[in-house]
Chains A and B, each alone.
Chain A
Amino acid sequence: MASARDEILGRIRTALRDVEPDAEPVLSPPGARVPEALGLIDHFAERVADYRATVVHCAPDGLATAVAAALPVGSRVVVPAGLPEAVLAGITHPVRDDGLTASELDLVDAVVTCARVGIAETGTIVLDHEPDQGRRAITLVPDLHVCVVRADQVVPDVPDAFPLLDPVRPLTWISGPSATSDIELDRVEGVHGPRHLYVIVVGSAPSR
C-alpha cells in the first residue's frame, strides 16, 4: 500500500494535471500612509490606545521613571535576561527569568520587556523573543505586560514590518490586551493573556 504522503501527493498531481504553476511571488499592495496631522508616533500611540491599552511617551533619560510609574507599588515583576539596564533601573523587585515554570509565572504580577517592531496603522507590537524580550511564556502568564518600544522601531503599516522580522524566530504579534467577542460579539478585554497592556514609547520619531 502506498504511504499517505505518496497517495496525497499523487491525488494532487492528478487534480492539477492541466494547471501550470506560477513561479512569481505575489507582490503586496502598499500599506496605509501615516496621517500627516498626527505623525507616525502619535498615530501608533492612538491606535494602540484604541484597544484600551495604556500608552505613554517618555524621553530616553526618563525611561526608568516611566517604567516605575507603570508598575503598581510592591508588584513582583519578571524580567527577561537581556533587559537593558535603563529599563531595569525602574523596577524595584525584578525576578530574572531563569526558566520559571508556568505555575511560578502565575504568581508574578507583571512582566517588563522590550519589543522588535511597532506597527502604527494596526496598533500592533511584535515580539521576536530576543533576550531583551525573553521566551514567550513570560509575556503571557502575568496579568500586566509593560512593553518598551523605541520610537525608531515604529513603522507605518504591516508590509513595512514583514522584512524586519525573521520567521525562524517565534513571533508574537500583540494588538491590545487579551480580548474576546464570543458573547454576543461584544468586545470584552481580559481573557487568558495579560489583561493589561502598558506601552512606553521612548524618544521621538526619527526625522525623515
Chain B
Amino acid sequence: MTGTFVGMPAFPTAAREALADTQLRHNLAHATGVIRGKRAAVVGEVENWEDLRLAGAAVKDRALRDLDEQLVRLEESLTARGAVVHWARDAEEANRIVIDVARAHAVDEVVKVKSMVTQEIGLNEALEAAGVAAWETDLAELIVQLGGDLPSHILVPAIHRNRAEIREIFLRRMGEVGRPAPDDLTDEPAVLAGAAREHLREKFLRARMAVSGANFAIADTGTLVVVESEGNGRMCLTLPEVLVSIVGIEKVVPSWAELDPLIRLLPRSSTGERMNPYTSTWTGISPGDGPQEVHVVLLDNGRTRALADDVGRQALRCIRCSACLNVCPVYERTGGHAYGSVYPGPIGAILNPLLKGTGDPQTDSLPYASSLCGACFEACPVRIDIPEVLVHLRSKVVDSHREDRIPKPEAIAFRGAAWAFADERRLGRLEKLSGVAGKVLRRRSPVVGRIPGPGAAWTDARDLPAPPTESFREWWNRTDGGKADG
C-alpha cells in the first residue's frame, strides 16, 4: 500500500528529477515559506531564545553522556508503573515485538500515532505482511498512506501535495479502506480535515490496539510524551486497550524538570506555534484511564553506532522539529524524496550515514547534499552543528574509498595536485604551461565552456574561468610583491 525508499538512486540523480517537477517546487516553496515566517515570528517573541537553545542542547547531551544508566533508570520506572519494557537491536526485532503483541490479542488492525521511528523500521509493511492492518491517523500520514506515497517531510509528510491532489486522493481511496469521502468534497483545507475526521472516527472507536512513538521519555519517572496537533494522538493513546510505544534510545530526558526547555523549544521550531494543540504524557498504566496494557520498545537500530562517533553523536540530540528542512535552500528545491529516507533535509543528510554507516552509494551521497550555508545550525533548537557533521562525514566517505582499486576522478586530481605542489621547479614549469593555455583560451572568452569527461559534472552548472596568463608567483617576482607598479 505504501511505497518504499529501498533502491532509491543517489541524491544527485533523485534531485535532478525533483527539480524538473514544477508542481512539486511550487508546493514546496509555498509551504516552506509559510512555515519559515511563522517560526521567525514566534521565535522572535522569546527574549532568551539562545539561552533556551543552550539549555535544550545541554539536557539532551546530559542524557546521552550517561545513556546506559539513563535507560536502566527508565526501564525501572516504567516497570514500576506497570509497563512492559522490551529492547530491540534493530528494525526486525522491534517489528517482531509489535507483531507478537498484536497476535497475543488476536487483533487484525492497529491505529497509529504519527511516528518517525515506526517509519524508520518499516512497521506498517511488517504488520501488513503479518496480516495486521496499520491505520495512519495523522492527516498528513493518512494522505501519504492513501496515496501509496512516501513521506517527504518530518513534520508534514505530505508537504509535497497540494489541496487539489489531496482531494483527489481522498475521493479515490477512502472508500476502499473505510468510510468514503463525501461526494461533494471540496479542496478547502477545513473540508478535507472534516472528511479525515469522519473517516477515522470509526477506526478510533473500534480499535483495540494502538502503536505510537514518543517525543520524549523521562528516565526518573518513566513518563512518555507525545506532542501533536490534531487529537489523533490522544485518540490512540487513550481509547484502545493495548498501547505499544516504540522509543529510540536517544529520546531519553533525565528528569521531569528538564523536559521544560524542550517543551518550550519544540512547538515554536516545528509548527511555528507558541504551543502545539495537544501534548499527552503518561506513565505506565493509569488504573481506570486509558490502555490497561502498555508496552515500551527501546530501539537501537544504529543509534549506538551514531553515539560512537564523537563528532556525529550530537545528531542524537535531534527532537525532530524539522526547522532545518524548512530553512534549507537545498531541501526547499528538491523536496524530501530525493534524500531517499524518512529523515530528509539537513538532519537526514547526517542522520542516515550516522545510523547506517558509510559505504552505500545512496547514503554516501547525502553529506554532499548541502551548500554548507549553515542556516540549519542557526535554526536548530538543540544547536546541532549540522555543517560540522556534514564535513566530518564527507571526510569519512572519502576515507572509505582510499583503498579503491579504481580511484575516483577527484582522488586522481588531488594526487596530481600533490605531485605538482611537491616540487617548486615542477610547479613553475606547470604554471608556465597553464599561462600559455590561458593566453590561447582568453583570446576567445575569459570563461571555459563545457568541458568533456568527468569534468563535465562541474561545468554543467558552473563557469570555469580560463587559467590566468600570469601565475601569482610570476606576478610577485615581477612586482616585488606589489611594491613596484604592476
Contact = CB atoms under 8 A, between A and B. Distances in A.
Contact of A9 (B72, B254, B255, B273): B72
Contacts of A136: 234, 237-238, 280, 289-290
Nearest to B86: A4
B300 to A, nearest CB: 5
A21 B200 contact: no
B139 to A, nearest CB: 4
Interface string B177-205: 00000000000011011101100110011
A19 B360 CA distance: 29
Interface in B148-204: 156, 158-159, 162-163, 166, 189-190, 192-194, 196-197, 200-201, 204
A27 B257 CA distance: 8
Interface range for B? 35 or more
Contacts of B31: 184-185
B89 A193 contact: no
Chain A interface main SS type: loop
A22 B62 CA distance: 6
B218 to A, nearest CB: 6
Nearest to A24: B62
A6 B435 CA distance: 65
Contact of A26 (B55, B87, B200, B218): B55
Contacts of B205: 102-103, 106
B229 interface: yes
Interface in A75-97: none
Contacts of A192: 137, 197, 200-201, 204, 230-232, 234-235
A142 B139 CA distance: 20
B55 A135 contact: no
A8 B300 contact: yes
A8 B304 contact: yes
A171 to B, nearest CB: 4
A190 B47 contact: no
A68 interface: no
Contact of A183 (B59, B86, B189, B201): B189
A26 B261 contact: yes
B264 A179 contact: no
B283 A175 contact: no
A207 interface: no
A132 B276 CA distance: 24
A50 to B, nearest CB: 8
Contacts of A59: none
Nearest to A137: B238
A162 B279 CA distance: 14
B230 A168 contact: no
A88 to B, nearest CB: 21
Contacts of A36: none
Nearest to B281: A171
Given A12-B307, A15-B307, A103-B205, A182 B140 contact: yes
Interface in A6-63: 7-9, 11-16, 18-22, 24-32, 47, 50-51
20 contacts: A4-B86, A11-B304, A11-B307, A19-B65, A21-B69, A26-B261, A28-B55, A28-B261, A50-B274, A51-B277, A121-B274, A124-B275, A137-B239, A163-B257, A167-B256, A171-B279, A172-B278, A175-B273, A188-B190, A191-B230
Given A8-B300, A106-B201, 8 more contacts: A14-B304, A22-B66, A140-B235, A168-B223, A174-B277, A175-B273, A175-B275, A186-B189
Interface of A: 3-5, 7-9, 11-16, 18-22, 24-32, 47, 50-51, 99, 102-103, 106, 119, 121-124, 129, 135-137, 140-141, 158-159, 162-163, 167-186, 188-194
